[in-house]
A and B are shown apart, each in its own frame.
Chain A
Amino acid sequence: MEDNTIICRCEDITLKKLRELIKEGYTTLDEIKRITRLGMGPCRGNICLELAAREICKLTDKSMEDIKMPTNRPPLSGIKLGELAGDNDDK
């Protein structure tokens, strides 16, 4: 089941991969995010970060309160560069 369960849909990261990393010692979301790109895709971590946080709790002595969520960076959802540049002709 571990092999087939995708935790991060944007980057195709499996539950197995995530558990391996936590066991290797990557036990904060920031560290996991930066080494795997988990949470860096178009969904902006909306699905995976919470799931990954729970896995960290399961495999370490941390509780959900101990887990720091990575800094939320703008924009809130994807915006086309053309729209940002004020181009209306080519959408």
Chain B
Amino acid sequence: MMINNADIAIIGGGVIGASIAYNLAKKGMKDIVVLDKNYIASGSTGSCGAGIRQQWGTEMNCLLSKKSMKIFENMNEILKTKKDIELKQGGYLLLAYSKEELNQFKENIKLQHSLDIPSKLLTVKEAKEIVPQLNTKGVKGAAFCPTDGHANPFRVTDAYVEAAKRKGVKFFTYTKAQDIVTKDGKIKKVKTDRGEINTNKVVNAAGGFSKEVSKMAGIDIPTKSERHEILVTEQVNPILQPMVMSFSYNIYCQQTPDGSFIMGYGDPNEPESYNINSSWQFLEEMSKKATNLLPFLKKLRVVRQWAGLYNITPDAQPILDESNKIDGFFMAVGFSGHGFMIAPMTGILMSEMIIGEELSIDIKLDLERFEKGRLILEPSVV
């Protein structure tokens, strides 16, 4: 190992770990180390759908995503990256297929307006004006937020990593954390396959492997991992501006700035596992769903399919907390499929929590809520 001592070791070099490392360094913390068993963004970050949505149904998620979007909008300048993060704000068009779903959108929009999120309710005709190719059969209405969009997850993570490196953060890739040594309720060291690091603070930012990393410190957390599949098509001229998404029809589909279409859906029967293999069943079901909703997609070729892990909690909301059993064991895990879009604010909040400052958004995403039955009820989760 090239380093023996650190003030803090962050386990996981995805967008969450990188964002936390950057924000800690920005606040003046020294000797920050980030470990990843593979390369940067090699896990859930690098396989995610890349969407950034502000249309949520709880104040907390609206604020997290809205403030994160503000950072995405200025990220090239804030992080001084020459590799553009490829932010596209083409909006998110959410389709409602029932009266109940439409009513939920109305409720959400009321909340979003109170927080200055520029979403609006659309009639079917108005939705078709935004996406003329849309098959509106069964669609009862839609919600649209023009400032939603997506960004390139590799570039975003790279921008955080490079900015953090300039502030002295050390990244050790291809370095696997194997154990966390504790004594009398305190962290002592992290053992890796490339040596040991003495430290009294650890951040679990291990994405799909959050449960394993918590176990190393002797802490049980109620997260589980689940495969989510996705595919990408060949590149064509820009024809689809917004991300088209539906909770009930269970689909998301967007065209990226390079011209390819990325799409996925969640299989309700997917078992808990670390499996990230691709399946032909996904290819078949996805193609049926997508070509039904957007018939012009029939002519596009699938170039590649892949899969990544959702790390899911019982209420599909993350855990941002310090353990009450082991001092200095912090968790930023269980993002349940929407970690990328709130990574900028997560990095800020976690750095505040670790340094002991007041949180800049008044949120409580503690681990105890699951034991105490204080689950967060977010109606608009995938």
Seen from chain A, the residues whose Cβ lies within 8 Å of a Cβ on chain B are 28, 30-31, 34-35, 37, 40-42, 44, 73-75, 78-82, 84-87, 90-91
Q: Which residue of B lies closest to A21 (CB)?
A: B83
User: Are A73 and B287 in contact (CB-based, < 8 A)?
Assistant: no
With a CB–CB cut-off of 8 A, which chain A residues contact B298?
A: 80-82, 85, 87, 90
With a CB–CB cut-off of 8 A, which chain A residues contact B288?
A: 85-86
B40 contacts which of A31, A41, A80, A90 (Cβ < 8 Å)?
A31
User: Are A42 and B301 in contact (CB-based, < 8 A)?
Assistant: yes
User: Are A84 and B258 in contact (CB-based, < 8 A)?
Assistant: no
Could you jot down 30 A-B contacts, CB within 8 Å?
A30-B38, A31-B40, A34-B41, A34-B154, A40-B303, A42-B301, A44-B303, A44-B304, A73-B305, A74-B304, A74-B305, A75-B302, A75-B305, A78-B234, A78-B303, A81-B290, A81-B298, A81-B300, A81-B301, A82-B291, A82-B298, A84-B283, A84-B287, A84-B302, A85-B287, A85-B288, A85-B291, A85-B292, A87-B298, A91-B299
With a CB–CB cut-off of 8 A, which chain B residues contact A42?
A: 234, 301, 303
- Tell me, in angstroms, the Cα distance from A90 to B303 when the chains sit together: 19
- Indicate if B42 sits at the interface (CB-CB under 8 A): yes
CB-contacts of B15-72 with A (<8 A)? 38-42, 46
Seen from chain B, the residues whose Cβ lies within 8 Å of a Cβ on chain A are 38-42, 46, 83, 154-155, 158, 232-235, 258, 278, 280, 283-284, 287-288, 290-292, 297-306
B300 contacts which of A28, A30, A44, A80 (Cβ < 8 Å)?
A80
The smallest C-beta distance from B42 to any residue of chain A, in angstroms, reads 7
